[in-house]
Amino acid sequence: MESTWGEGEFDVTVFSDRSEDEERKFLDTYVQWHQQKLAAGFAAITWPVGAGGAGLTIAHERAFTELEAQYDVPNDHELISVTTKLIAPAIEKYGTTAQIEQYGRTFLRADEFCCQLFSEPGAGSDLANLSTRAVRDGDRWVLNGQKVWTSNARIAPWGFAICRTDVDVPKHAGMTAFLVPLRHTGVVVRPIRQMNGGASFNEVFFSDAVIDDDLRIGAVGHGWKVALDILGFERDSSGGSGRSGGEFEDLLGLARHMERTDDVVVRQGLARVYTTNRVREWARSRAAASARLDGAPGPEGSIGKLLWTEDMRHISEVASSLLGAALTADTGEWGTYAWNDHVLGAPGYRIAGGSDEIQRNIIGERVLGLPREPRVDRDVAFKNAPR
Ligand SMILES: Cc1cc2nc3c(=O)[nH]c(=O)nc-3n(C[C@H](O)[C@H](O)[C@H](O)COP(=O)(O)OP(=O)(O)OC[C@H]3O[C@@H](n4cnc5c(N)ncnc54)[C@H](O)[C@@H]3O)c2cc1C
């Protein structure tokens, strides 16, 4: 949506630096909007009608998202996207009827929040290398290990964890998915400070944390399949048309205000942002069309994610060159120092949800059909694999 210079709130933040109370207030506002949309059939457009959705296609969903972006509606929050667009669909797909009723629908409505407990100190790009153990003890599981970079774990009461349940089989076969209550004996959440000053992500430690088997999502040993689906949903939604971090119009407004629209270098930068944006829209259309045929987001979502992070990088570069020193000191002038948050936050999304390099690997291997990277531990039991 185009803003008028100097009017209203100017926010191009990528990762917020809010207190816990402010974060909760922000979430409340968006949850109200989300639930209004859900009741009107617009928040789960592609879900089956009986499951709380509208039973329509990804193209319908995309059309709605684009229309919504033209209005002044509450800003989305990453935790709500993770809860409603990543975890809820995974429970809908892999959960039992009871789990769908109890957790799937709760998460779809965002009545409660759930964060994503995937990455570990030794498992990020190579997620299947994860070593947080879940050991069966009758109809319960005992969790030990550490997750890291867990966004919003301080606020979410639930985490969706992929754990190692079998070390005697190759790494992809020995994982299982669980819903884990985070305010629970044996679970410790510690915030990590980011370079913009905020602490939206955390370390999460499990020390003999005991959970019931009815919190296992999907069959034992099927965790990799569940994780891949969630990562597919994530790539698909992160390449979306959300407003997080500013847009071409914000940048153009800044260039006009600084009277730099005649500067050839600035013009080139603006053109690059504009064209990346358009190419991203077309890539999203193509991914949506292919998802319509296959019924699920495919590897093409990686192109959208990559173009989104490229876009943010170009936006940061142009804003930095326009603002110079004004980027580093707050003069109180509307719409200037706020870009500092963008510049410090944008690099995070080049890593989060699978780094740019990993998206390129996915495109190379699974879209272009290039030879796969060598995988030396493919057929080796996890406990014997080189690490
Ligand atoms: C802002 C933010 C939020 C996050 N939120 C969450 C969250 O909520 N939950 C969660 O589970 N995780 C989260 N993460 C973690 C994120 O998923 C990982 O950081 C990411 O997958 C990269 O893993 P890593 O940090 O272990 O880096 P590594 O995997 O160690 O990679 C280090 C570098 O090597 C490159 N590299 C690695 N392997 C290859 C390869 N095969 N080919 C080419 N290059 C390669 C990478 O691109 C990267 O540049 C978040 C991260 C960030 C930055």
pLDDT of residue 241: 46
Contact 27, 354 (CB under 8 A): no
The half-sphere exposure of 335 on its side-chain side, counting CA atoms within 13 A, is 19
Domain endpoint, select from 186, 221, 256: 221
Q: Is residue 6 part of a domain?
A: no
Residues 88 and 178 in one domain: no
Cα dist from 262 to 57, 178, 195, 258, 265, whole Å: 43, 56, 34, 11, 9
Is any atom of ligand 1 closer than 6 Å to the C-beta of 151?
Answer: yes
Q: Which atom of ligand 1 is nearest to the CA of 122?
A: 26
Residue % of the chain over a pLDDT of 90: 72
CA of 42 to the centre of ligand 1 (A): 32
Which domain covers residue 348, as residue numbers? 227-367
CA of 149 to the centre of ligand 1 (A): 9
The one-letter amino acid code at 133 reads R
Is any atom of ligand 1 closer than 6 Å to the C-beta of 176?
Answer: no
CA of 254 to the centre of ligand 1 (A): 32
Residues 231 and 213 in one domain: no
Structural element, H or E, at residue 209? strand 201-212
Residues 70 and 195 in one domain: no
Q: Is residue 8 part of a domain?
A: no
Residues 233 and 345 in one domain: yes
Nearest to 116 by CA among 14, 229, 208, 16: 229
Which of 16, 79, 351, 376, when mutated, tests ligand 1's pocket best, judged by the most ligand atoms within 8 Å of its CB?
A: 351
Atom 23 in ligand 1: residue holding the nearest Cα:
124
Q: DSSP characters for 121-140?
A: TTBSTTGGG---EEEEETTE
Contact 218, 177 (CB under 8 A): yes
Is any atom of ligand 1 closer than 6 Å to the C-beta of 204?
Answer: no
Q: Is residue 158 part of a domain?
A: yes
Q: What would the pLDDT profile of 157-207 be if each residue is shown by its tens digit?
A: 999 999 999 999 999 999 999 999 999 999 999 999 999 888 999 999 999
Is any atom of ligand 1 closer than 6 Å to the C-beta of 128?
Answer: no
Q: Look over the chain and give the mean of its residue pLDDT values, rounded to a whole number.
A: 92
CA of 120 to the centre of ligand 1 (A): 9
CA of 353 to the centre of ligand 1 (A): 7
pLDDT of residue 290: 74
CATH of the domain at 146: 2.40.110.10
Q: Which atom of ligand 1 is nearest to the CA of 116?
A: 9
pLDDT of residue 357: 96
State the pLDDT confidence band at 76, using cuts at 50, 70 and 90: confident
pLDDT of residue 20: 85
Q: Is residue 271 part of a domain?
A: yes
Is any atom of ligand 1 closer than 6 Å to the C-beta of 149?
Answer: yes
Who contacts 185 (Cβ-Cβ below 8 Å, separation ≥6)?
209, 210
Is any atom of ligand 1 closer than 6 Å to the C-beta of 29?
Answer: no
Domain endpoint, select from 55, 90, 108: 108
How many Å is the maximal CA-CA distance in the chain? 71
Residues 272 and 356 in one domain: yes
pLDDT of residue 297: 62
Residues 234 and 200 in one domain: no
Structural element, H or E, at residue 217? strand 216-217
pLDDT of residue 65: 87
Atom 31 in ligand 1: residue holding the nearest Cα:
125
Q: Is residue 193 part of a domain?
A: yes
pLDDT of residue 295: 61
Contact 126, 274 (CB under 8 A): no
Who contacts 242 (Cβ-Cβ below 8 Å, separation ≥6)?
65, 69, 76, 81
Q: Is the dihedral of CA 91, 97, 99, 104 positive or negative?
A: positive
Residues 168 and 200 in one domain: yes
Structure tokens at 237: 């939604």
Contact 207, 146 (CB under 8 A): no
Q: Is residue 380 part of a domain?
A: no
pTM of the model: 0.92
Q: Which of 23, 92, 120, 234 is catalytic?
A: 234
Is any atom of ligand 1 closer than 6 Å to the C-beta of 113?
Answer: no
Total domains in the chain come to: 3
The b-or-e profile of 182-216 (16+ CB within 10 A means b, else e) is beeeebebeeeeeebebbbbbbbbbeebebeeebb
Atom 37 in ligand 1: residue holding the nearest Cα:
125
Residues 52 and 138 in one domain: no
Please tell me the distance from the alpha carbon of residue 223 to that of residue 229, in angstroms, as a whole number: 10
Contact 183, 172 (CB under 8 A): no
Average pLDDT over residues 263-279: 96
Q: Which one has a higher pLDDT value, 11 or 244?
A: 11
State the pLDDT confidence band at 347, using cuts at 50, 70 and 90: very high
CATH of the domain at 51: 1.10.540
Q: What would the pLDDT profile of 101-138 be if each residue is shown by its tens digit?
A: 999 999 999 999 999 999 999 999 999 999 999 999 99
Q: Which atom of ligand 1 is nearest to the CA of 194?
A: 1
Q: Is residue 184 part of a domain?
A: yes
Q: What would the pLDDT profile of 177-191 be if each residue is shown by its tens digit?
A: 999 999 999 999 999
The half-sphere exposure of 316 on its side-chain side, counting CA atoms within 13 A, is 20
pLDDT of residue 15: 87
For the cut 80, the answer to whether the pLDDT of residue 244 exceeds it is no
Is any atom of ligand 1 closer than 6 Å to the C-beta of 354?
Answer: yes
Q: Is residue 288 part of a domain?
A: yes
Average pLDDT over residues 323-340: 94
Please tell me the distance from the alpha carbon of residue 373 to that of residue 377, in angstroms, as a whole number: 12
Cα dist from 367 to 224, 309, 363, whole Å: 20, 19, 5
Is any atom of ligand 1 closer than 6 Å to the C-beta of 201?
Answer: yes
Residues 239 and 359 in one domain: yes
In the annotation, is 112 catalytic? Answer: no
